[in-house]
Amino acid sequence: MATNLFVGNLPYTMDSKRLEEVFAQAGTVVSAKVISDKYSGRSRGFGFVEMSSEEETKKAIEMFNGKDVDGRPLVVNEARPREERPQQ
């Protein structure tokens, strides 16, 4: 079963392709997405990576949590389920 990771403190120059390349060092990446601002298109400094197995997920957390990438220490942990927001 694939597991989703939250990746915070990303360099603003990182895109989804580069994020996937970095996490591929820990195993098979199912998907990688850097979240961007819907108005400016600029990275918001975080993203999500889905690894193909629980073992690869744990390995990715061990390898990359606190690791310096392009001058910024990454924050990597398991993503929490998305909370429903009230309609405005």
Q: Residue 43: which H helix or E strand, with range?
A: strand 43-51
Question: Smallest Cα–Cα separation from 26: which of 70, 76, 71, 73?
Answer: 76
Per-residue pLDDT at 1 exceeds 70? no
pLDDT band with cut points at 50, 70 and 90 for residue 80: confident
pLDDT band with cut points at 50, 70 and 90 for residue 84: confident
Residue 83: the pLDDT is 75
CA angle 56, 60, 64 (to 5 degrees): 170
Q: Does the pTM of the predicted model rise above 0.95? A: no
Question: What gap in Å lies between CA 65 and CA 56, rounded to an integer?
Answer: 14
CATH architecture of 3-78: 2-Layer Sandwich (3.30)
